[in-house]
Chains A and B, each alone.
Chain A
Amino acid sequence: MDLVIVGFGVVGQGVAEVIQQKREFLHDAFRKKTRIVGVFDSSSYETNKTGLDPSALIKRKASKNKVGKRRYDGDAWRILGALEYDTLIEVTPTNIVSGEPGFTNIATALKSGKNVITSNKGPLALRFRELSDAARKNNVQLRFEATVGGAMPIINLSRELLRGEKILSIRGILNGTCNFILDRMMEEGLPFAQALREAQDMGIAEKDPSYDIDGDDSACKVAILANAIFGLDKKYSDVKKTGIRGVTEDAISLAEEEKKVIRLIGEISPKRLEVAPRLVRIGHPLSIGGTRNIVQIHTDLAGEITVAGKGAGKYETASAILSDLVALLNENKKSRVIRR
């Protein structure tokens, strides 16, 4: 399978490394070479029909801050049309206002009959229906396990393994940064500002933390889950959201006296599409601390299913992208067998 990677930051490089690392496995399992035939960052790109060397790309990016020798204006979609490949891996930054450049990159690939794997929440939290319709119309797949919960498998689990079940509701911790801050506030009795500063010093929170702590990131994930699993047509702005800025030390200690913790919970149920701080009983699965993500899926037959995992990180996110890639390769293998 020939891949083009657009975006060569933390995740893009992680994917390149993992493809190199899993080369033998992919070949043995699917009897097909998996090659990177194109790669883009914001200002440069490189292509090669016979495959690019992942470690050379990473080395070049580290030394020159450019992944390729060829320069361009950042509109990868213009170049994508002229390339021969099977699957686009779209891992440019999330933009929750316009969805770009991800939206146009993804739409261009789908319309020209290519599969897409992405970790970019913006296009899916803003224009999910358009993209999933384009994938269906062009008989290709749009896969996005990495957009929700990093390494924690939730989308493919719900859509594939739990397909026969009726999923009644999903709720969980979808942002590791907020969970870390709330956990530190309780464990150490820190005020919000100090716990946030600690998270920033440790590289867990961004310099501008608003996207995480105001609940935007979780709201994007709630919208994506609502669309992908419940078949709804929701945008990130349809999600009612309350962040964690207003959580005070008094609130945390009053909760603790009642044997509760405060957690930022995303909820998708027939009644609610919401991100809000909630009181969670200590010992309840959703009371976990640290930066992990955790989700409970409530179904008609299985009851409650709980999954947890690392919500972000280079290899964790690459792991989710690899799971999508393996699903595509599996599909390909099946259709090859049928054709024979």
Chain B
Amino acid sequence: MKVNADLRLKDVPGQLVFALEPISTNDGNIVGVVHHRDVVIGGHITVNVTFEVRSDRMLQRILDTWKERDIDVARMGSLYETFPIECLLVGDISSQELNNIMEEIEAMEDMESVDVRYSVSAASDGKAAIVFGKVRKKEAVERVERLLEERAADGGFLLVRGLGD
């Protein structure tokens, strides 16, 4: 997902690197930085940064690090309208199989972010995994669901799709 944020940094050397570093350490991709050096308010300057990040979880880690480092996020927004995908797979699904499915989804067009969480059950056929994320087009939700429907039918899993609202 593409994120745009205004960060308020102390006007001292090294602060910009200090602020941008959490993005790269969390697999983010910095797309652009606009540095407003001339406007200093209360010893702080504003930096506008645009970056891509793979999932909500990664974004959260970046935000957490900024908080730890006392970097103030003055404004933040996603650059596109996104649609949620949320599907539960239930049954004896191997992690290898799930990885393959996730790779297929990640490679699809219009994916903003995608992630998976597993249950921790003893009974193998009771296991569940939830695939969640965001896509940039409504049709992409259908594409993901269709893929999961096919994989669920092939593997004999139960697919529980989200309602979409």
Contacts and interface: CB of A to CB of B under 8 A. Distances in A.
A15 interface: no
Given A248-B90, A248-B128, A258-B132, A284 B117 contact: no
B132 A254 contact: no
A247 interface: yes
B164 to A, nearest CB: 9
| Secondary structure class of chain B's binding surface, majority of residues | strand
B161 A247 contact: no
A254 B130 contact: yes
Interface in B111-165: 117, 119-121, 123, 125-130, 132, 157-163, 165
Nearest to A243: B158
A251 B163 contact: no
Interface in A244-277: 246-251, 253-255, 257-258, 260, 262, 265, 276-277
Given A254-B128, A260-B86, A278 B162 contact: yes
B90 A246 contact: yes
A297 to B, nearest CB: 15
Contact of A255 (B125, B159, B160): B160
Given A247-B90, A279-B88, A254 B117 contact: yes
Interface in A212-262: 242, 246-251, 253-255, 257-258, 260, 262
Nearest to B161: A278
A19 interface: no
A258 B163 contact: no
Contact of B163 (A242, A246, A278): A278
Given A248-B128, A254-B130, A284 B90 contact: no
Contact of B88 (A249, A255, A284): A255
B121 A246 contact: no
Contact of B162 (A247, A248, A249, A279): A279
Nearest to B162: A279
A280 interface: yes
A260 B126 CA distance: 18
A246 B88 contact: no
Nearest to B129: A254
Interface residues of B, number: 25
Given A246-B90, A248-B126, A254 B119 contact: yes
A286 interface: yes
Contacts of A250: 90, 119-121, 126-128
Contacts of B128: 248, 250-251, 254
A251 to B, nearest CB: 4
Interface in B67-108: 86-88, 90-91
A281 interface: yes
Nearest to A253: B119
Nearest to A242: B158
B33 to A, nearest CB: 34
B163 to A, nearest CB: 5
B165 A251 contact: no
B121 A248 contact: yes
B87 to A, nearest CB: 8
Nearest to A244: B158
Nearest to B91: A246
B19 to A, nearest CB: 31
Nearest to A271: B142
B16 to A, nearest CB: 36
Contacts of B163: 171, 265, 278-281, 284, 286
B91 to A, nearest CB: 7
B160 A249 contact: no
B56 to A, nearest CB: 12
A276 B160 CA distance: 7
Contacts of B157: 246
A277 B160 CA distance: 6
Contacts of B159: 242, 276
Given A251-B119, A254-B130, 11 more contacts: A247-B160, A250-B120, A250-B121, A250-B128, A255-B130, A255-B160, A258-B86, A265-B163, A276-B160, A277-B160, A281-B165
5 contacts: A246-B158, A253-B119, A260-B162, A277-B158, A279-B87
**8 A-B pairs closest in CB distance:** A246-B158, A250-B119, A248-B126, A251-B128, A250-B128, A250-B121, A251-B90, A279-B162
